[in-house]
Chains A and B, each alone.
Chain A
Amino acid sequence: MGCSTSSPAKSNGSFDERGASDSKTMRIKLVLLGDSGVGKSCIVLRFVRGQFDPSSKVTVGASFLSQTIALQDSTTVKFEIWDTAGQERYASLAPLYYRGAGAAVVVYDITSPESFQKAQYWVKELQKFGSPDIVMALVGNKSDLHASRKVTVEEAQEYADSNGMFFIETSAKTADNINQLFEEIGKRLPRPATTQKS
């Protein structure tokens, strides 16, 4: 294996090559981006291991995890997930992780307008430097903290619409919408042979 296998542009190619043997399985590189502390690692751990650890641990560099899900159309998608560190010092290294990614999840914290700003920065960055057909999701995390919400659903939805992303609010703590997030991404991924949703 190698990074290249999961790059969407190339991966379409490689999927085609392998398509004959395994058209129903897709491998996709997914990257999570967002400000530090918005809960990227928590989303991933909830998705991959079904765990939630309230004691937050700062991610260093990037963690790699993978998880396979089956979609309703009987396709299976293997996500190779890069959970990046949100710290500023890694910003310049982000291309390392989103290069060739087929899907990007840009996360913000609904209680933090700054993190929403940062999310918009990442969206722009991905539009400029990411793969052209990357599937992008805008995720407002910590929806369980709606009492202290600072970023409205409308605001985020509008931004997502205008940038061709889909929007969802999740809570890694309560597991709310976590699986839906990844399933939706799976559905929107370009299909190897013919069917292209989204």
Chain B
Amino acid sequence: MRESDPSDKELNSENNDLQTENPGSQDVSFAYQQTFDAKQADDGPCSLPSHLSEKELDNNGSSTCDNGVNIESADAQREATGLTTFEFPVPEEGPQTYVKKVKSELEGASDGNQTEYNSDGIEEPDPGDTNANAEHRECSPRVANAQFNSQDKSDPKGNEILEQRDTVVNRSLTAFSSTCNIEPVESSIIRVQSAVENGNMEGHRPYADSEGKIASLSAVDGVAASSNGRESFEEIEVVDSGLVKNGGLLKRDLFLEKQHQSEDDSSESWRKHKKHFFILSHAGKPIYSRYGDEHKLAGFAATLQAIMSFVENGGDRINYVRSGDHQVVFLVKGPVYLVSISSTNEPLRVLRRQLDLLHGQLLLILTRSLEKCFVKNANFDLRPLLGGTENVFSSLIHSFSWNFASFLSSYTCLPLSHTARQAAGAALQDIADKNLLFALLLSDSKVISLVGAQKASLHPDDIFLLSNFVSSSESFRNTESFSPICLPKYNSMTFLYAYIRYLDPDICLILITKNSDAFFHLKDCRARIEGFLMETHVLRDISNSVARGGLRVEELPGGDVSYTSAPRSRRMGDTKDSTITVKLKAGVGGTAGLWHFIYRCVYLDQYVASEFSSPLETPQAKKRLFRAYQSLYASIHGAPTGAHQMQYRRDGNFVLLAWSTSDFEFLAAFDPLAEKSSSITVCNRVCQWVRDMENDLFFIGGSPFNW
């Protein structure tokens, strides 16, 4: 329990991310360097941060390693072996500025296998292999500065080792921010912690099973013991002080740039935004910034680029930096760098996914062939090619705080009676021919129906990005349009052509073709679809559904009213509800204090969420719940083996309940006073009810994408 929670979570989510990223790891292959691998090879599987219970956190003294740098070389093997994490101290010169004190943490930490040193202590992660240790030290200077030649000597060794263990493709390196203590006495305490040990100490259950894990566990013990040895201690110290300096630099640069901005930009406010997103080229040219003028932010972008390329030159990849409340998350996608700087305390996994989506949106507009521009000319300025798309990006970023699809990687459907949805599907089916790749009928980001050509499947993220692109571009609303788009998950290299037409202000028809000449054909198709939907009154049904809005928890069965046009299940209403219904009536929200829920159907890749109603109506409350769901969801997916299948959390704002099975995932928020037993009962009922209503709530087409 040494680690206070935030970092733990981070690691965790990190692990997860890695897994998901693996398929694409070749993208970042340039980031791998062998020098790194060696030492880690023997660790085998590593750190698995565990989820600390909130209580534990509290005991620890919550604010944890607030400053840190996480560097990672992507690694195909990571998935198998788990994440290997190293941490480097990155103390700051002026701890007071950014760092929260974590004295209690230090104290608490020492009993938990963690080794701490006053003024620059480091814990060797790798006991068994001194070479590896050397390696480890070797990389640290890279992180901040390549000053320490003495350490570099160890490189060759490291390489040898690496070759010996060529099975290990790669490793991640995590340099964590050490926490600086602001307590007067211990003002320069730095805590360095290896994530490897972390995981082991935490004894993450799912992981403990893996053999490698166990091995590494014992290795860690060895480390802990050896780290007390004088020798290693001193060597490390050197490294450490270097890091101190450089780490400080790093951080200061970030903040100085911001200040600089504010001078320029009249923007004290610029720095106060809670969440920044930047896209820049690997040459440091700004491509997009959420706030501020990209041209004026050129210096800032250059700084980000310098940090990223510095680490990249060392064969690594920088993952994130924590500084105080701020998290700086980096994502490298070929020649495109994406960075978010936020103080929203969202899980790392979530932030990385957001960057990923941002990149997807960029591809949707330009395709991956944008990378060719950079091959031809590294200094290429991408901005002109993105003219007029600010809305698309800002709306995407906005959706990161309201659209569940942004973290669920699923789409949601407009509730519609089964027959109406079938009719809509039939209309789309009817026009399907070789010219048509996909046909979608959307209401904002909600799917009404969709069909796709054989073997072509539309990824939920593509639906999300496409619907964002369409709904954020005003020009589509009034006229028929034919626009080149790219569906990054379908094929990120080529343009497809989208015929886009709003059938009414809420209903948008998108027909996607590979054929750039198909406009008039698709225009005819649209006329046929529109005619059919009018005749069968489906258009009216859809409008009614849009007007009615989504599910409301008050209307769920179990309460007095039920949503639906179809026969509803009464099961929820009948049994043993006396206690529950009393509560229901007493408060706002639904049965047993149910305020909100999300049900995600795993095999359909679809979810349904209730509307934000009564106690959650304010934007702040919505956002708070949204963020709580985000981290809840991240935590049920945080463990690779799906460890936390059921969670029940209570805090001052609400009770959160998460339930994950192989068929569905369910997240719910209750009144903070809700009783555990009754809320679990309600969850069961809601899930049952959703399953009963499946035909109305989800788009079920057998195999949805075939015709």
Interface set of A (CB-CB < 8 Å, partner B): 1-3, 5, 36, 41, 45, 57-65, 83, 85-90, 93, 96
Contact = CB atoms under 8 A, between A and B. Distances in A.
Interface stretch (B184-192, B385-393, B595-603): B385-393
A2 B387 contact: no
A61 B517 contact: no
Given A41-B475, A63-B475, A65-B480, A89 B366 contact: yes
A49 to B, nearest CB: 9
A62 B483 contact: yes
B222 interface: no
What class of interface size applies to chain B in its complex with A?
A: 20 to 34
Contacts of A87: 384-385, 387-388
17 contacts: A2-B517, A41-B475, A57-B473, A57-B474, A58-B391, A61-B481, A61-B500, A63-B478, A65-B479, A85-B483, A87-B385, A88-B384, A89-B365, A89-B385, A89-B386, A90-B484, A93-B484
B385 A62 contact: no
A86 B384 CA distance: 11
A100 to B, nearest CB: 10
Contacts of A57: 473-475
Interface string B498-518: 101000000000000000110
Contact of B482 (A2, A5, A61, A89): A61
Interface string B634-656: 00000000000000000000000
Nearest to A100: B517
B476 A60 contact: yes
A3 B474 contact: no
B517 A3 contact: yes
A97 B365 CA distance: 18
A64 B198 CA distance: 60
A58 B520 CA distance: 23
B481 A64 contact: yes
B519 interface: yes
B383 to A, nearest CB: 10
Interface in B330-388: 365-366, 384-388
A1 B520 contact: yes
Interface string B155-173: 0000000000000000000
Contacts of A93: 484, 495
B393 to A, nearest CB: 13
A41 B473 CA distance: 14
A56 to B, nearest CB: 9
A36 B387 CA distance: 8
Contacts of A3: 517, 519-520
A59 B484 contact: no
Interface in B457-479: 469, 473-476, 478-479
A89 B392 CA distance: 15
B521 interface: yes
A11 to B, nearest CB: 13
B479 A64 contact: yes
Contacts of A64: 479-482, 519, 523
Contacts of B474: 57-58
Given A63-B475, A65-B479, A88 B387 contact: yes
A90 to B, nearest CB: 7
B58 interface: no
Nearest to A3: B517
A95 B498 CA distance: 17
Contacts of A5: 520
Given A61-B485, A63-B481, A64-B523, 12 more contacts: A3-B519, A41-B475, A57-B475, A58-B387, A58-B474, A62-B481, A63-B479, A63-B480, A88-B385, A88-B387, A89-B386, A93-B495
A62 B521 CA distance: 16
A147 B524 CA distance: 46
A86 B388 CA distance: 9
A65 B475 CA distance: 12
Contact of B516 (A58, A63, A83, A96): A96
Interface string B23-49: 000000000000000000000000000
B481 A89 contact: no
A150 B469 CA distance: 35
A3 B483 CA distance: 15
A88 B473 CA distance: 17
A18 B387 CA distance: 43
Nearest to A51: B478
Contacts of A88: 384-385, 387
Contacts of A89: 365-366, 384-387
